[in-house]
Amino acid sequence: MSTREWLLTEQPASRRQARLGQSYRTWLAFRRNRLAMIGLGIVLALVAVALLAPFISPYNPIVGGDLRSERLLSPSWQHLLGTDDQARDILSRILHGSRITLLVVALVAVIATPIGLLVGTTAGYYGGWVDTVLMRLTDIFLAFPRLILALAFVAALGPGIENAIIAIAITSWPPYARLARAETLTIRNADHIDAIRLQGAHSARIIWGHVVPLCLSSVIVRVTLDMAGIILTAAGLGFLGLGAQPPQPEWGAMIAGGRRFILDHWWVATMPGLAIFVVSLGFNFLGDGLRDVLDPKAQK
Long-range contact list for 36-41, CB < 8 A, 24+ apart?
36/285, 36/286, 36/288, 36/289, 36/290, 36/292, 37/289, 38/282, 38/285, 39/281, 39/282, 39/283, 39/284, 39/285, 39/286, 39/287, 39/288, 39/289, 40/282, 40/285, 40/286, 40/289, 41/282
Contacts of residue 69, Cβ cutoff 8 Å, sequence gap at least 6 = none
Other C-beta atoms closer than 10 Å to the C-beta of 259 total: 12
First to last CA, the chain: 32
Contact 90, 83 (CB under 8 A): yes
> How many residues are given for the chain?
300
Contact 75, 84 (CB under 8 A): no
pLDDT at site 197: 81
pLDDT at site 19: 83
Contacts of residue 282, Cβ cutoff 8 Å, sequence gap at least 6 = 38, 39, 40, 41, 42, 43, 45, 46
Contact 147, 172 (CB under 8 A): no
Strand, coil or helix: what is 89?
strand
Burial label, 92 (beta-carbon count in 10 A; 0-12, 13-18, 19+): buried
Please give the average pLDDT of every successive group of 10 residues along the chain, which has 300 residues: 77 82 85 91 94 92 85 90 91 93 92 92 89 92 87 87 90 91 87 82 83 86 89 88 85 89 90 94 91 65
